[in-house]
Structure 1
Amino acid sequence: MAVRAAGALCWRSRRGELQLLVIHRPRYDDWSWPKGKLDDGETLPEAAVREVAEEVGIRIKLGIPLPSIQYKVNSGMKEVLYWAAHVDEQEPLPDDHEVDQAEWVSPDKARELLSNPSDIDPLNALVEAFEEGHLPTWPIILLRHAKAKPRSSWTLAEGDRTLVASGQRQAKAVGRLLNAWGPKRALTSPWVRCVQTLKPYAKIANPKIKQIDALTEASHKRQPKKARAVAEGVFEKRKPVIICTHRPVLPTLLEVFAPKMSDEDAAKLPTSDPYLSPGEIIILHVSALDNQRIVSVEQVKPFDD
């Protein structure tokens, strides 16, 4: 089994020209992208954000996913997953331990400096997205609530059904994971299990949370068009957003998103019940320049108990 690691290609635009952040590691005397292995219990997106912060002192929000790379190391094979990450005003501060230099360079200069030939693959994908105008993006994060108490053993109102202990742990993991994108806006079903799922993230990021009846199971069963309208409305706001809802509502929302992406990306969407596991998320990146086009799709499970 390959060792898994994660990192990011930090980018910025200066006078219309793309610049990338490359780092020099004295231990290996090489040039690469900021990256590192996962800590225990950590997801790949979390690791990418943490490694950039530790190595160059920049707090990033993840953009589109980029091609992963594989190469041989002493212990076998290593796989590194990368994301694009827009950096505006922050300047790198190398940690002087793992990294002693960090420089903003052009794509051509990056190709000259990078020591590992496979690191060119995510660079090429990022440059292509930049040239197509789809590198600046904002995320829609579709979240199924964490694991709740069984419906069969619940005797109170359905909307009051709470998370089980493992669901509460899932919710904490969801909170940490969502921070990799850091949306400041969340739309949620007002039913307790959805509100509880977002609570840990609310403590971390203090987003503006709006409870919407159309995202409940009961409202969706009566009037699914209202749930569709919620999904369609997020494109008008043009702001990063979380949508937290229930399993039966998911296919209706996915029907709104699928036509806004390529056939290749649409094929990545789940098509059968239960669509997402409890606490699982789908991240859809919308082009900032073409607000009706979704340019990437990811699916991440933060915690399974």
Structure 2
Amino acid sequence: MRNKEHLDEPVDEGTAVSIYAAGALCWRTKKKKLEVLLIHRQRYDDWSWPKGKLDKGETLPECAVREVSEEVGLPITLGIPLSSIRYAVKSGCKEVHYWAAAAGDMPVLPDGKEVNEVLWCSPSKARELLSNPSDLEPLEALVSAYDRSRLSTWPLLIIRHAKAKPRSAWTRAEGERPLAATGMRQALYLQRLLMAWHPNRIYTSGWMRCISTISPYAQHTKAKVKVVQRLTEADHNRHPAKVTAVVEKLLTRSSATGLCTHRPVLPTVLKALATHMPAEMRKSLPIQDPHLSPGEVLIAHVSLDEPGTIVALEQHKPYDD
């Protein structure tokens, strides 16, 4: 069956992307066997993954969560990132980003507008049904992660505080330096972005610019906020080993958690994370100063099967005026 959304022409690596989209491969285990969720779209008469185009101002993770909710009625939290795919469409080149999303036994309800049928099936059955050959790429990535016990994870989100007023323009205590106007917009952007992983607890420096960065999300979700003075610049300068101890303690958790701190503290945080991942993955860490831009987020996906082991990384840029 030919998928009418796709054209037959191959897509060059250098082809500019005209459409960005995002989605998720929802998965569960049934009788100790992996199953994935396929959707059938009547418009194209095809079998594919839940996905859709970005709305204006939307981030890729937000889009993935929204599309799954709209098309199959599942509220999801994103897991590890999977392969992104590109293919030719009438307007040029479409790039789709995918994540894994554990779905358990939640009921699945097609929206009836775009999706008229849904199916939980084995990966082998999915390979037979998928209409677009490129949709096999994220499936193989998911199956590989499952086979290596790398699919069940929880996210540790490392957040650099949003853009603050310049030090040179601030004459009061450093811990009271507030966010700039851009930083306040970045904090609102983070409120939406972080919803894709739902951190239920955030550990933060007690300085104003960190508190203000995570406040919109915490107020919106009622996430618990724990102020940790060790994460301030001043305490880190005196006792960097105590920051390492904070990170090590967080890695013993098993539910989505955030950590918000400052640029000078990030090298110590990243060094601690590096000891919990394969050597090849360490090359993906942002080790060059400034490590993360103001308001940027690094997500370390930590294995539930091998506690304390980081199995995937992803970064998300901040809102930019």
Query: Normalized against structure 1, the TM-score is what?
Result: 0.98
Query: Is this contact kept in 1: 2:294–2:318, CA < 8 A?
Result: no
Q: Return the offset for 1:264.
A: 2.6
SS at match of 1:91: coil
Q: Return the offset for 1:205.
A: 1.5
- Write the distance in 2 (CA, Å) between the matches of 1:238 and 1:245: 21
Answering whether residue 104 of structure 2 is matched by residue 96 of structure 1, we say: no
Which of 131, 145, 163 is 2:161 aligned to?
A: 145
Q: Return the offset for 1:203.
A: 2.1
Match of 1:26 in 2: 42
- Write the distance in 2 (CA, Å) between the matches of 1:7 and 1:101: 17
Instruction: Give the number of equivalent residue pairs.
Output: 305
Answering whether residue 254 of structure 2 is matched by residue 228 of structure 1, we say: no
Query: Is this contact kept in 2: 1:43–1:302, CA < 8 A?
Result: no
Q: Return the offset for 1:113.
A: 0.7
Q: Return the offset for 1:57.
A: 0.9
Match of 2:130 in 1: 114
- Write the distance in 1 (CA, Å) between the matches of 2:278 and 2:94: 30
Q: Return the offset for 1:206.
A: 1.0
Query: Is this contact kept in 1: 2:293–2:318, CA < 8 A?
Result: no
Match of 1:57 in 2: 73
- Write the distance in 2 (CA, Å) between the matches of 1:266 and 1:113: 37
Q: Name the amino acid aligned to 2:123.
A: P
Q: Deviation above 4 Å: which 4+ runs of structure 1?
A: none
Superposed CA RMSD:
0.8
Q: Return the offset for 1:292.
A: 2.3
- Write the distance in 2 (CA, Å) between the matches of 1:11 and 1:162: 42
Query: Is this contact kept in 2: 1:6–1:35, CA < 8 A?
Result: yes
- Write the distance in 2 (CA, Å) between the matches of 1:86 and 1:54: 17
Q: Return the offset for 1:270.
A: 0.7
- Write the distance in 2 (CA, Å) between the matches of 1:18 and 1:73: 32
Q: Return the offset for 1:39.
A: 0.8
Q: State the identity as a percent.
A: 57
Q: Name the amino acid aligned to 1:125.
A: A
Match of 2:24 in 1: 8
- Write the distance in 1 (CA, Å) between the matches of 2:194 and 2:306: 24
- Write the distance in 2 (CA, Å) between the matches of 1:138 and 1:243: 14
Unaligned segments of structure 1, at least 5 residues: none
Q: Return the offset for 1:204.
A: 2.2
- Write the distance in 2 (CA, Å) between the matches of 1:89 and 1:25: 22
Query: Is this contact kept in 2: 1:22–1:102, CA < 8 A?
Result: yes
Answering whether residue 121 of structure 2 is matched by residue 123 of structure 1, we say: no
Q: For residues 67-216 of structure 1, what are the structure 2 equivalents within 5 Å?
A: 67-216=83-232
- Write the distance in 1 (CA, Å) between the matches of 2:198 and 2:232: 24
Q: Name the amino acid aligned to 2:280.
A: E
SS at match of 1:100: strand
**1:150-183 CA distance string (max 9 Å, x none):** 1111011100111111111100001100000001
Query: Is this contact kept in 2: 1:177–1:302, CA < 8 A?
Result: no
Q: Return the offset for 1:59.
A: 0.8
Q: Name the amino acid aligned to 1:81.
A: H
Match of 2:305 in 1: 289
SS at match of 2:28: strand
Match of 2:296 in 1: 280
Query: Is this contact kept in 2: 1:173–1:303, CA < 8 A?
Result: yes
**1:120-175 CA distance string (max 9 Å, x none):** 01101101111111110001000000011111110111001111111111000011
- Write the distance in 2 (CA, Å) between the matches of 1:263 and 1:237: 23
Q: Return the offset for 1:263.
A: 2.4
SS at match of 2:84: strand
Which shows bigger deviation, 228-237 or 207-216? 228-237
SS at match of 1:55: helix
- Write the distance in 1 (CA, Å) between the matches of 2:251 and 2:244: 12
Q: Name the amino acid aligned to 2:228.
A: I
**Measured at CA, do residues 91 and 302 of structure 1 come closer, stay the same or move farther in structure 2, by a change above 3 Å?**
farther
Query: Normalized against structure 2, the TM-score is what?
Result: 0.94
- Write the distance in 1 (CA, Å) between the matches of 2:161 and 2:210: 5
